[in-house]
Chains A and B, each alone.
Chain A
Amino acid sequence: MSEMKIQIDYGLIEEVAKDLYIRALQELPPDILKALQSACERESNPTARTILQTILRSIALSKEKKMLICQDTGLPIYLLSIGEKFILDGYRMKQALSEGARRATQSYPFRGSSLHPLTRENPQTSVGYGLPVIHWDFIPNGDYMEILMVPKGSGSENMSGIEMFTPADGVEALKKYVLDKVVRSGGNPCPPGIIGIGIGGSFDSVGYLAKRAVCRPLGTRNDDPQFAALEEELEEAINSSGLGPMGLGGDTTTLGVHIEWSYTHMSQNPIALNYQCWAARRARARIGIDGRVENGF
């Protein structure tokens, strides 16, 4: 007997893609909020405490008055996990996500941040050739799909980087790279945020791993104890630098270090750091085969 497969409702996907973009810009995930609150309670530097209190006040005001958390509406990124029970038309999926992002921008309306890299011409749609960024993943036997929307701000994205080290330099080089980079970035990426790190893979995949790392909720650790230990170690090391909120000094420079990894080539030792600011915005929707939408973060 052939298994029942369900058609995707692309009109629904478009609506969800639109709502997710707007919701992500207005409301911070609870894990981020909680981390900022406890950082504020722990903070011993008075300037840093004022900054964290200001951040918390601004977040609450944005939620209450339905305003954007930050003026930078970011580059739209959609991360998909599609259950095997769906029949997927990849092209229509792309169209639906792109239309959703465009409609969010023009109906709200908010500033479209996406533009042509040479002419710098901004169509005020948030989308264009190659945008939104879409990452695809599939769930074996899954009878639901998840869409995670991340509007990635540029102050922090600009402080990101990839380096290819030598195998002989080992994990030491990776740790040093992260520490140096975070300290030298100063207040530019609006710390304290999430430091997403990719380790291993190829030049292209290591960047993707780092991006996945910043999308992981705070309070989670890598499943692999070796990488979980490295996350903890780097978190402590970065916070002991004293760089602090907005680079003006304090106990909290990062809310969390997240690592995602993969196997790599025997002659490679790649690392990517994707910086995420305190406005670590993301919104998630889970769509069941019955078309029911559940909202989350």
Chain B
Amino acid sequence: MELYKLQTPLDEKTIRSLKAGDQVFLDGHVFGMRDKTHIEIFVNGNSPPVSLEGYPVLHTAPSLRKVDNKWEKMVIGTTTSMRMDRFVPKLIERYRVRAIIGKAGLSERSLEAMQRFGACYLAIVGGAAGLETLQIEEVEAVYWPHLHPEAIYQLRVSGLGPLVVAMDAHGSSLYETVRTRALDKLPEIYRRYHITIEHNLAPIDRLLSQMS
């Protein structure tokens, strides 16, 4: 496990040097986006009004306050990435986003796109919004403000992290490793706690589907 302090924008070589399990702290800029933002880009077909090339995209809907035409942060936390999963391969391919910062990971398809185009998934500690808010120094710009709180937020960060490289550009996913190990362990755990798996042990509505 290595520890890195990286400055954005990130280049492909840096991303490819990261391995699942490494830890990263980020300085520079990240772009906050979530559900509606992705729908605006990929379903409504509008290109983002700012270049995302080389930057990480953070899955967030920040609470902001507008003071004298300036956006001030109130609380900024990270949301579940899987809801944006279907758009991630295109986001990486078309806009050369180099990292996705989120919680709980993405699918195999996104992992493939990361491998192909050189991107990674950085897991933030979900729920630790107090710390995250303080590591975000400033909301420098809000693009597509009519979509707020699901606009595009240009955030200047200082030491954002720790972020765990949970999916790397070599096709390796820490989530997958941990989950597979846990699933493989289940039969032994069942045995230890006297769960006989020969039975169906299926809820009654699903048993009905086995009727002849």
Contacts and interface: CB of A to CB of B under 8 A. Distances in A.
Interface of A: 46-47, 50-51, 54-55, 57-59, 61-62, 65, 67-72, 110-111, 153, 155, 158, 163-166, 168-169, 172-173, 175-177, 179-180, 183-184, 186-188, 190, 233, 237, 240-244, 246-249, 277-279
A95 to B, nearest CB: 27
A110 B63 contact: yes
Interface of B: 1, 21, 23, 60-63, 74-80, 82, 103-105, 123, 125-134, 149, 162, 164, 166, 174-175, 177-179, 181-183, 185-186, 189-190, 192-197, 199-205, 207
A255 to B, nearest CB: 13
A60 B76 CA distance: 16
Nearest to B174: A248
Q: Which of B133, B193, B200 has the most chain A CB atoms inside 10 A of its CB?
A: B193
Contacts of B76: 71
A286 B197 CA distance: 47
A187 B105 contact: yes
Given A67-B133, A71-B129, A110 B175 contact: no
B201 A58 contact: no
A180 B200 CA distance: 14
Given A110-B75, A155-B104, A278-B127, 19 more contacts: A47-B21, A51-B125, A59-B130, A67-B133, A68-B75, A68-B130, A71-B76, A110-B74, A111-B149, A166-B200, A169-B201, A175-B195, A190-B127, A240-B189, A243-B178, A246-B164, A247-B179, A248-B178, A249-B181
Contacts of A164: 203-205
A243 B80 CA distance: 17
Contacts of A279: 127
A69 B130 contact: yes
Given A71-B75, A237-B192, A249-B174, A55 B125 contact: yes
Q: Which of B76, B149, B195 has the most chain A CB atoms inside 10 A of its CB?
A: B195
B142 to A, nearest CB: 16
A131 B89 CA distance: 38
A105 B7 CA distance: 37
Given A54-B162, A110-B63, A166-B204, A241 B133 contact: no
Nearest to A230: B193
A68 B63 CA distance: 11
A232 B67 CA distance: 51
Given A165-B201, A248-B178, A47 B186 contact: no
Contacts of A241: 182, 185-186, 189
Contacts of A186: 104-105, 175, 178-179
Nearest to B192: A237
- Top 8 closest pairs, chain A to chain B, by CB: A71-B77, A62-B130, A58-B128, A58-B131, A187-B104, A163-B203, A190-B126, A241-B182
Contact of A180 (B123, B126, B186): B186
Contact of B62 (A61, A71, A180): A71
B200 to A, nearest CB: 7
Contacts of A177: 201
A55 B105 contact: no
A208 B203 CA distance: 19
Nearest to A153: B127
Contacts of B186: 179-180, 183, 241
Contacts of B133: 67
A247 B195 CA distance: 24
A277 B126 CA distance: 9
A172 B205 CA distance: 18
A176 B195 contact: yes
Nearest to B63: A111
16 contacts: A47-B164, A57-B128, A58-B129, A61-B134, A69-B129, A71-B77, A111-B61, A163-B203, A164-B203, A179-B189, A186-B178, A186-B179, A190-B126, A242-B185, A248-B175, A249-B178
A67 B130 contact: yes
A259 B148 CA distance: 40
Given A172-B199, A187-B175, A248-B166, A72 B185 contact: no
Contacts of A243: 178-179, 182
Contacts of B125: 51, 54-55, 58, 246
B59 to A, nearest CB: 11
